[in-house]
Amino acid sequence: MQALLALEDGLVLWGRSFTGPGEAKGEVVFNTSMTGYQEVLTDPSYKGQIVTMTYPLMGNYGVNPEDVESRDIQVEGFIVKEYHAHPSNWRAQGNLAHYLRAAGKLGVEGFDTRAITKRLRQVGAMRGLISTEDLDPARLVRRVREEVPEMTGLDLVPLVTCAQPYWWEEGSKARGQGQQTPAPDLASLWRQRTGRKVVVYDFGVKFNILRSLAARGLQVLVVPATTPAAAVLALNPDGIVFSNGPGDPAAVTYGIEAVRQCLGQVPTFGICLGHQLMGLALGGRTFKLKFGHRGANQPVKNRLTGRVEITSQNHGFAVDLTSIPDPEVELTHVNLNDGTLEGLRHPKLAAFSVQYHPEASPGPHDAHYLFDEFMKLVI
């Protein structure tokens, strides 16, 4: 089945669908990971985006229920050079096409993903539209410009945050999906558990962040993104984590305010969008990167130790450290590709954050120590 991709700058490419008819709209970005396509598909930070994979072959190891990072596929569309319909892997419980189709998501192949990536690197991430139904190139370009919103100024967190607070649990029945346990109020839910307890603000949290916290003996309460800081602080938690998520951080004003109120009250740890919100809460600014950092091979230097970490990243915005007025804020990590800020800390407020994903394993364990650093603050 033919499929047409149109970008807002007028570029039009032909390919074919491997999931059936449909359309996908969003910001077109590229990811340089060689594996991990199921984690990419289910990462809430990709909400509102069409993802192009630079590695040419996708689908060869299938899909399984253990590698998901959220309850749903989050990407708007998936572009690959070549789709492999017959996976060969002992963990596979299905193929990629069926997986996407069941979620109502469009997957396409036969596109020159190298050409798309080069265009995005030259021009920047752009709005795009893929269709198997509207195959008129001029009309599709016009529709992109009229129908697809700009990412700048866009708050997508309400589309991915949880509806109710819940304790993170994982077992044979949960299968990595998490279990939501509604409660009449936050305080009564909090009293259900004992031990070291932390709150995670869900701006689009990845399950492996929750697993990484639980693996260190913490009881993890996940709360919706709009939960008032006063309600969380009233629980007297041992720590607070501000999670990853999609969209423009400057548009998540309720998240910025929550971080601002929590800073200095309990130990805090920001990841990805949570890092950006922390930068904004400290008085700084964020800006949109030309084409973002998305992949499992981003080199980051830890300025405190001098070590280089190979990191997994997915973000299109960054914090401008020079804009933060507080002299106590320290730059802790820097991206070695473009020199952008990858981490900061405020020792007096027991707060720190990183732009990348310490729960992922491209290094494979280069960044896991960050959860241990959070544990030192919690204990």
Question: Residue ranges per domain, the chain?
Answer: 2-147, 157-378
Give yes or no for residue 331 having a pLDDT over 90: yes
What is the distance between the alpha carbons of residues 28 and 204, in angstroms, rounded to a whole number? 19
Q: What is the mean pLDDT of residues 27-34?
A: 97
What is the distance between the alpha carbons of residues 334 and 339, in angstroms, rounded to a whole number? 6
Q: What is the mean pLDDT of residues 261-286?
A: 98
What is the distance between the alpha carbons of residues 122 and 15, in angstroms, rounded to a whole number? 22
Which of 23, 69, 342, 359 is labelled catalytic? 359
What is the distance between the alpha carbons of residues 122 and 83, in angstroms, rounded to a whole number? 26
Whether the upstream peptide bond of residue 364 has omega within 30° of 0, thus cis, is: yes
Cα Rg of the chain, angstroms: 20
Give the pLDDT score at 363: 67
177 pLDDT band, cuts 50/70/90, is very low
Q: Is 162 a catalytic residue?
A: no
Q: How far is CA 29 from CA 108, 126, 137, 287, 374, in A?
A: 15, 7, 20, 17, 31
Give the pLDDT score at 360: 83
Q: Is 333 a catalytic residue?
A: no
**Cβ neighbours, 10 Å, residue 193:** 12
Whether the upstream peptide bond of residue 224 has omega within 30° of 0, thus cis, is: no
Q: What is the mean pLDDT of residues 270-291?
A: 98
Query: How buried is residue 241: exposed, middle or buried, by Cβ count under 10 Å (0-12/13-18/19+)?
Result: buried
**Strand (E) or helix (H) holding 208:** helix 207-214
Which of 69, 84, 272, 309 is labelled catalytic? 272
Q: Which CATH number, 3.60.20.10, 3.40.50.880, 3.40.250.10, 2.60.40.10, labels domain 157-378?
A: 3.40.50.880
More confident residue, 321 or 306: 306
Give the pLDDT score at 282: 97
Q: Determine the residue type at 174.
A: A
**Strand (E) or helix (H) holding 278:** helix 273-281
**Strand (E) or helix (H) holding 97:** helix 96-102
348 pLDDT band, cuts 50/70/90, is very high
The residue to which tokens 């919103």 are assigned: 149
Backbone φ and ψ for 227, nearest 5 degrees, come out as -60, 125
- Mean pLDDT check: name the lowest of 112-121, 285-294, 359-368: 359-368
Structure tokens at 21: 């008819």
Q: Which CATH number, 3.10.20.600, 3.40.50.2300, 3.50.30.20, 3.20.190.10, labels domain 2-147?
A: 3.50.30.20
Expressed in angstroms, the distance from the first to the final Cα of the chain is 57
Q: What is the pLDDT of residues 135-158, one digit of tens each?
A: 999 999 999 999 999 999 999 999
- Mean pLDDT check: name the lowest of 143-152, 170-179, 305-314, 352-361: 170-179
Q: What is the pLDDT of residues 54-109, one digit of tens each?
A: 999 999 999 999 999 999 999 999 999 999 999 999 999 999 999 999 999 999 99
Average pLDDT, the chain: 94
Q: What is the mean pLDDT of residues 262-279?
A: 98
The residue to which tokens 């980051």 are assigned: 300
Cβ neighbors of 64 (< 8 A, separation 6 or more) are 38, 91, 92, 93, 94
Q: Is 86 a catalytic residue?
A: no
pTM: 0.95
What is the distance between the alpha carbons of residues 290 and 242, in angstroms, rounded to a whole number? 25
Q: What is the mean pLDDT of residues 182-210?
A: 92
Give yes or no for residue 212 having a pLDDT over 90: yes
Give the pLDDT score at 175: 33
Give the pLDDT score at 180: 47
Give yes or no for residue 172 having a pLDDT over 50: no
More confident residue, 177 or 60: 60
- Pairing mode, if any, of strands 23-31 and 49-53? parallel
Residue pair 224/161 in contact by the 8 Å Cβ criterion? yes
What is the distance between the alpha carbons of residues 6 and 138, in angstroms, rounded to a whole number? 9
Q: What percent of the chain has pLDDT above 70? A: 96
Q: How far is CA 60 from CA 21, 38, 96, 154, 198, in A?
A: 22, 12, 9, 35, 38
Give yes or no for residue 187 having a pLDDT over 70: yes
